[in-house]
Amino acid sequence: MSPASNHNSIRFLCLPVLFTALFLLVCSGPATAALQATPDVLVFHNTTQSEAVALRVGDQPISGSAVSSWQLLVDHRNYSHMLRITPTETGLRISPSDTVEIGSYILALHTPHGEMQIQVFTPLTEHESVIESLARRMNISLDEARGQMGISQQLSREQVSLNVRPIYYWGQRLAIEMPTPERRSAVWKINSETINQGENRTHFEYALVETGPLLVNYEEWEDGVLVASASALSEVVKQPAVDYHTAANATVRFHGPEGFSRYSWQVDGASAGNTTVFEQRFTTPGRYTVRVLCEDPVAPGPYHTREITYQVTVAAP
């Protein structure tokens, strides 16, 4: 083949590749920037607190009026009445409502630009009141509580930190990974009580089955010397109740959360069943409390045990 014909062949072969590349570029179009919020974690210590959240798509700020709807969620249940949200030119102004309860929530925002989630914690307590509550629970002085929390304790030679959330729900598992160098012994404490200690204790897990302040202390020891320590304070609370409305003489079906092998249902404190799905017929108008305790998880998960409460309002038919 002559050099000229070879050149023409190469040019002919390249044209389909070029057309394919142009076709893909035109069809795919520009990439869509994701909706972002800053900050994407909010912590409210009292009901007078207010936080500004900036919204943007890529580098472009967007108005809060672009939020078409929102939900404050716990396990897909909506508690929107616990927040006040006001649109601003660059995002949202968010504050707790008077009906807010202590807890950990997901604020789901829906806009024409997409959807996003903001983690919302509502410990609803100032720092000093937490210390006082912790001191009462541990039966120690305020100075001792400050020392336990690391506020006034002597610093160790190395600094480490604990990744602990401000709020946990009763029954959840506290799980922390802390890589420990060889030849060092780790000590884990909950509210000053030693829970686990020894070498190769890089993973700490603890079932949260008591409500109230949760103080986590971690220490690393080598040859009898404290070389690293950290502390973190959290709160364990019951999950907020689910409001449910029905009419008298109607049969209501409640579904226990999946993933457990034992279910115990109560109606106004009286035992009512042990099935996954519970049915109840309320014949008299009024307010009833339905509670399910879920135990023995069938697989590893975030909960050691769960308790869900329904506040049922029964209206006249």
- Say what the pLDDT of residue 237 is: 93
- Say what the pLDDT of residue 150 is: 54
Distance CA 179, CA 186 (A): 10
Q: Residue 123: pLDDT band by 50, 70, 90 thresholds?
A: confident
> What average pLDDT does the segment 2-31 reach?
40
Q: Is the pLDDT of residue 158 over 80?
A: no
Q: Residue 66: pLDDT band by 50, 70, 90 thresholds?
A: very high
Q: Is the pLDDT of residue 91 over 50?
A: yes
pLDDT greater at residue 59 or residue 120: 120
Give me the phi and psi of 147, to 5 degrees please.
Answer: -65, -40
Domain 242-315 CATH superfamily: Immunoglobulins (2.60.40.10)
Q: Is the pLDDT of residue 48 over 70?
A: yes
Question: Cα torsion at 264, 267, 271, 273 (round to 10°)?
Answer: -50
Q: Residue 29: pLDDT band by 50, 70, 90 thresholds?
A: very low
Q: Is the pLDDT of residue 136 over 90?
A: no
What is the chain's mean pLDDT, rounded? 84
Q: Taking the domain 35-122, which CATH number applies?
A: 2.60.40
Q: Residue 154: pLDDT band by 50, 70, 90 thresholds?
A: very low
> What average pLDDT does the segment 176-202 reach?
89
> What average pLDDT does the segment 179-204 reach?
89
Question: Can you say whether residue 269 is alpha, beta or left, with left for phi > 0 and alpha for psi between -120 and 50 degrees?
Answer: left
Cα 265 to chain centroid distance, Å, stands at 26
Q: Is the pLDDT of residue 252 over 50?
A: yes
Distance CA 282, CA 272 (A): 13
Q: Give the predicted TM-score (pTM) of the model.
A: 0.75
Q: Residue 37: pLDDT band by 50, 70, 90 thresholds?
A: very high
Cα→Cα distances 310→17, 76, 222, Å: 63, 14, 51
Helix (H, G, I), strand (E, B) or coil at 39: coil
Q: Are strands 158-159 and 225-237 parallel, antiparallel or unpaired?
A: parallel
**Range in 25-39, 68-82, 192-206 with the lowest mean pLDDT:** 25-39
**Most confident option among 21-35, 143-157, 180-194, 251-265:** 251-265
Q: Is the pLDDT of residue 16 over 50?
A: no
Domain 127-237 CATH superfamily: Immunoglobulins (2.60.40.10)
Domain ranges of the chain: 35-122, 127-237, 242-315
First-to-last CA distance in the chain?
A: 94
Task: Report the share of the chain in percent with pLDDT over 70.
Answer: 81
> What average pLDDT does the segment 21-38 reach?
58
